[in-house]
Structure 1
């Protein structure tokens, strides 16, 4: 089964300006590798101008802010996951150069006889803190910040492709070493199975097993960290790391497993099994942690405690913001989530009580991430409607609250995620349209109704001043609603247009009727009936209504 985004093989790129050593036993860190990896990590995280002496973004010139620093919560990027860390041409070239200058060979040869080789290797990859924390599974600074996760995924990508490239290099060397001169790799391996594998191959397997076992300690620590549904960066880190580990396993393990079936060396077979187990255990832990986070998001939505403090003036609720950030992440990482969602629901070994899939998604079985998102949006709207009914005595505020919150959740799926199912968007946007129509009806229909009453008065040729009641009511509603805020410009414009169409449309129709009444029954100069404003008087009213909802 293919992963969510395959790690590309080592490319035959043109030479970069990297140092080369003729001494294959040399394992001193190549600072140019470290610099190159750091600058790629920095550029991916929005920083530039990296310094070799730094392992954090503070030493780089800031060109953008971390997503975690934007507004209240993590702003999920809308680009495809496959276009991020995985397959990065810069990382592929770094890995290819490590193989071309035989640096990986030097590390492998020194691994068994020199202490600290693994630590120096991880320092070159800019993840020395992984080795430092492997015994207790620590996460740098106690939290999975964006910078650490980016460094880790980039390091794993380089590691996978560099070790994979070294493995392919040895394949080309083994037939000559065995003396057979066989070009076909499989035939060569069959011939080698009658004897021991080349020592370099076994050493590479040991070095690879130690590297990946240590590297995946960070993933295990991340999966085991205490869950906090309010820490959106935790689910982001889990999904980012899980995607990278999945692709690493899909890239590395199939060729290793194929070779282990052909070769007789039990040490080699054991090392391959150990690597397979390391990846399998790590991915299982992360799947469990991701599923728990999905369950926690569902619990957050349905908990009454989540909706205790309703913001004034119909603003977006904190819980709505939190859920929206999670849902954006779920969709962005849908390729990784789809099998997790299905397998966790269909697994007979899963807890049959609160943990089971049918308990999370009601009586339905959810088969895809978009169905899970649609279900959670529906549950969110149910909770919003329950919350507004308890909190707002003013019906206009209720509908404004519902429109603001529902639109906040749907906005990224409408504006940024073009591949999100149209049927879900249409259904949810229809609900928002209903909230807007109800708001206009309960708030501005009383204003318009004054014109109907005054029209009856005009037919009786009353001496009362025309439009006084309408203007007073219009000013009252305008004053009450002017400072109510709609943060989404598109929604704000839509609602203004709806109000203008209703109020000014009715006003212009009223004026036309009244001028017709005067012309027909009173005459222009009769002196009877209240004076009418000029037909162009709507411009002032239009300017006034266009100031609504600025907050």
Structure 2
């Protein structure tokens, strides 16, 4: 089971590396069972650009339940179960002799998370260690937590019996050993809560990645707590163990990150490309994470509502739908603000089209019945009209209302062709990522330019164009591929 988790998380981490394709990942050093420190290596992996990576980001990760853990334990052969039991007993014996240090550090090494020992140092050092590999470390940490639960299921939960596990000396010391080990793992919770979100305050982790890590760690801790309490319910050591306060602190951090996603990811700055803004991607990714964890997130928002920190606009729908619409409205305002940085009006309107259409696509999936689709579509239509007017209407205007010439009868055709070529050359590499929007914009340009061109040639049969209307239409069909 733990091996399956390991493969899944390593696969996820390989697809979600930093933008530069480099991430610092812990690698075990020395022989197995060594208590030496963790070595670190910088690995290079292939990554897509931010837009491609974020657009594909839909984290529907499902954690195994306690029942699944027990079933996996039952499936173990007797020989393997005995080996695990003897191994953990040897660690417990060592734990009782060495004042809690080497045994727990050895187990952390075997679990692949001895890097947590570095998080007890200065907080800035901890943030530096986590930077760029938050999801990788969260996955490694959760895998270790489930392996600990697996040991509980295999060695004590249902095999030695609850009474024996809580009265037998080995069972009691095992619980203390687990408690001491987890106490050295819990600083990671503090570390991810303290992670800064990238945006207006400078460098940090993407809001959606922090949000995902917090939710997954919170759910894993909740499950681990239930498993431990179930196996050792009568032990006094269990009181306050993985307490509700810890889960409440994670709930609060999740809520704070939801709020911060509305602001930190929506940083302003000079735009050079009409593509989807990184702030748009980040907020939409956060919304995807929230909807992938609907039940737990809706409960957290309800708690914020009870504290007076969240005010729903529509009491007839869920809190998450209300929050989604509020986040979308803030996002639209951010997109409009960022569009003002474009000195080129054509780029400005194409930027608005790309971002508003992307928002529409994503939110229509989550809440089609309450999201103001008609209003949003109206804005997109208006931006398309404005784009055509500032970009291509001046091209057709060369033929529709040619500049009068008092002394010559020079044809307006060369000016039209020159204006078309100039506009086409500038815009042919601009990017519109959505295929249906690319097609719609191309059709709108064709409808603006080609009929006027065709009519001019009919009215001026002696004119010889450098390109025919059909050839011009073919050129326009290649726009916006990037």
Provide TM-score, normalisation by structure 1.
0.65
Answer whether contact 1:238 1:286 (CA < 8 A) is retained: no
CA shift at 1:84, angstroms? 9.6
Residue aligning to 1:284 = 248
Answer whether contact 2:353 2:383 (CA < 8 A) is retained: yes
Answer whether contact 2:349 2:387 (CA < 8 A) is retained: yes
Answer whether contact 1:74 1:232 (CA < 8 A) is retained: no
Answer whether contact 2:112 2:140 (CA < 8 A) is retained: yes
Q: Helix, strand or coil: the match of 1:81?
A: coil
Gaps of 5+ in 2: 16-25, 31-37
User: CA deviation digits over 1:113-140, x for unaligned, max 9?
Assistant: 3442111111110111224544767737
User: 1:98-497 counterparts in 2 under 5 A?
Assistant: 99-101=81-83, 102=85, 103-115=87-99, 116-134=102-120, 139=126, 141-144=128-131, 145=133, 146-172=135-161, 174=163, 197-226=167-196, 228-229=198-199, 231-233=204-206, 236-250=209-223, 252-253=225-226, 256=229, 260=233, 263=234, 268=235, 270-277=236-243, 280-300=244-264, 306-307=267-268, 309-312=269-272, 314-347=274-307, 356-358=309-311, 367-388=318-339, 390-391=340-341, 395-407=345-357, 409=359, 413=362, 420-423=366-369, 424=371, 426=373, 428=376, 431-453=379-401, 465=411, 467=413, 470-482=416-428, 484-486=430-432, 491-497=437-443
Matched, 1:507 2:453: yes
Answer whether contact 2:146 2:224 (CA < 8 A) is retained: no
Q: Helix, strand or coil: the match of 1:46?
A: helix
Per the alignment, do residues 294 and 118 of structure 1 end up closer, same or farther by CA in structure 2, a change over 3 Å counting? Answer: same
- Aligned residues between the structures: 444
CA shift at 1:339, angstroms? 1.9
Residue aligning to 2:462 = 531
Provide the C-alpha distance between the structure 2 equivalents of 1:493 and 1:251, rounded to a whole number of angstroms: 51
Matched, 1:543 2:471: no
- Give the number of the structure whose alpha-carbon radius of gyration is greater: 1
Q: Helix, strand or coil: the match of 2:58?
A: coil
Per the alignment, do residues 369 and 463 of structure 1 end up closer, same or farther by CA in structure 2, a change over 3 Å counting? Answer: same
Residue aligning to 2:50 = 71
Per the alignment, do residues 165 and 468 of structure 1 end up closer, same or farther by CA in structure 2, a change over 3 Å counting? Answer: same
Answer whether contact 1:310 1:391 (CA < 8 A) is retained: yes
CA shift at 1:346, angstroms? 1.9
CA shift at 1:141, angstroms? 4.5
Gaps of 5+ in 1: 1-9, 11-32, 178-188, 190-195, 349-355, 515-528
CA shift at 1:228, angstroms? 4.5
Residue aligning to 2:33 = none
Per the alignment, do residues 44 and 239 of structure 1 end up closer, same or farther by CA in structure 2, a change over 3 Å counting? Answer: closer
Residue aligning to 2:22 = none
Instruction: Give the RMSD, CA atoms, in angstroms.
Output: 4.6
Provide TM-score, normalisation by structure 2.
0.73
User: CA deviation digits over 1:147-206, x for unaligned, max 9?
Assistant: 3222112111211222233332445485xx7xxxxxxxxxxx9xxxxxx83334323332
